[in-house]
Structure 1
Amino acid sequence: MISVEEYTTHTLVIKKSEFVCHLIPCSQVEQAKALIEQYSDPQATHNCVAYIIGPYERAYDDGEPSGTAGMPMLNVLKMQGLSNIIAIVTRYFGGIKLGAGGLTRAYSQSVAQALKEANIVEKEPVDLYEIIIDYTYTRKFEHLLKMHHIKCIDIKYEEQVTYQCYIKQTDFFNHIQELTNNQFKTHKIGTDYMRKDV
């Protein structure tokens, strides 16, 4: 699966209209609405959207003439073979009308140029686990995470310590078992797409 590695933005000015393209990685369609709201500017003339997330595709013109914004943006994403990506082009109208052909070109170009700036990477699904251990093992456990290049996104210190970690190889749990004399708990809490190691 090919997508953008991280959030990328690019601005294009055509006949005094400003087109700001936001490229956002997103692997859960349920998150799309919140991300679109977050990166859309309510003060702008239009916030046009195209996304491909797994099997879901969407194109939205947001008041531009039908078919002049969302679909051309979606086509650029498809031609590049991208997935798990949201493209939002925010337009600030500059007072000069572009016509249907001009709009189609402007929105396509905006996404295409932003993609040139973006870091396009191959991603793979990686499971996110919660790992719960006693305080006595934290130092050794954190050393183990470093040794195996495991990404942790959250640590909670309560009665025990809870780590949220992306685990690619489940044989890592054998190391935790050894380290803690099997005194640990774990369960899978989700899956995300992460950059594939070359």
Structure 2
Amino acid sequence: MISVKEVTTHTIVIKKSEFVCHLIPCSDIEQAKSLIAQYSDLEATHNCVAYIIGSHERANDDGEPSQTAGMPMLNVLKMQNLTNIIAIVTRYFGGIKLGAGGLTRAYTQSVAEALKHAEIVEKELVDLYKIFIDYSHTRKFEHLLKQQNIKCLSQEYNEQVSYLCYLRNTSFLDQIQEITSNQFSYEKIGSDYIEKEN
């Protein structure tokens, strides 16, 4: 699947109205609501939303005339075959009415231009593991992470050190077993879409 690599923001001005587009990668429908709230400006005239997350699609005109904002935005995302993406266009009214056709063009253009500035990447579903290691093995383990180019999200230092890592291949767990003489434990805690390796 293809999506944007990171949050991208782009602004255009049409007849004194300012259109600020945020493109946000998101693979969790539960998280969508809080991201939309985070990137919407309640002081603005409108915050129009379109998203495609897995099999969920949504288009919201947020007070603009029906079908002039959310749907045109969603169509741009679909034309680009994007998934797991939220587009929010915040409009600050400049005093000149654009009419239905003008609004449709403005919201379409806002998302299309933002996509030109975004880095589009291919993503794949990868499992996320929590790996627990004794302090005595951390140096070897961290060397192995670098060697294998494993993406590690975080570390926590408690009785043992725990690492949050994306694993494309469970053979990595066999390698940990080797370097720690099987003195480690792990749990699979979920999966997420991350950028595909070349």
What's the TM-score bracket when you normalise by the shorter of the two chains? over 0.9
Q: Which residue of 2 aligns with 1:116?
A: 116
Q: Distance in 2 between matches of 1:34 and 1:103?
A: 26
Question: Where does 1:32-51 land on structure 2 (aligned, <5 Å)?
Answer: 32-51=32-51
> 1:67 & 1:189 partners in 2: Cα distance?
40
TM-score computed with the length of structure 1 as normaliser: 0.99
C-alpha distance in structure 1 between counterparts of 2:183 and 2:17, whole Å: 61
* 1:179 to partner: Cα distance: 0.8
Cα distance in structure 2, aligned partners of 1:156 and 1:98: 53
Matches within 5 A, 1:150-161: 150-161=150-161
Matched residue SS, 1:181: coil
Deviation at 1:186, TM superposition (A): 0.6
* Structure 1 equivalent of residue 131 of structure 2: 131
* C-alpha separation in 1, matches of 2:184 and 2:38: 38
Give distance in 2, aligned partners of 1:9 and 1:128. Answer: 29
1:190 is displaced (CA, Å) by: 1.3
In structure 1, distance between residues paired with 2:127 and 2:30? 18
How is 1:47-126 mapped onto 2 (pairs within 5 angstroms)?
47-126=47-126
Kindly provide the amino acid, as one letter, of the partner of residue 182 in structure 2. N
Query: What is the CA distance between 1:194 and its match in structure 2?
Result: 1.0
Q: Tell me the residue number matched to 1:21.
A: 21
Give the Å deviation of 1:151: 1.0
Q: Deviations over 1:94-115 (max 9, x none)?
A: 0000000000000000000000
Q: Which residue of 2 aligns with 1:187?
A: 187
SS at 1:122's partner residue?
Answer: strand
Structure 1: 5+ residue stretches without partners: none
Partner Cα separation in structure 1 for residue 74 and residue 194 of structure 2: 22
RMSD value, Cα:
0.6
Deviations 1:53-104 (A, max 9, x none): 0000000111111111000000000011000000000000000000000000
Q: Percent identity?
A: 74
Unmatched runs of 5 consecutive residues or more in structure 2: none
Deviation at 1:20, TM superposition (A): 0.3
The one-letter code of the counterpart of 2:41 is: D
- Partner AA of 1:162 in structure 2: S
Misfit runs of 4+, over 2 Å:
none
- Superposition deviation, residue 154 in structure 1: 1.1
Normalised by the size of structure 2, how large is the TM-score? 0.99
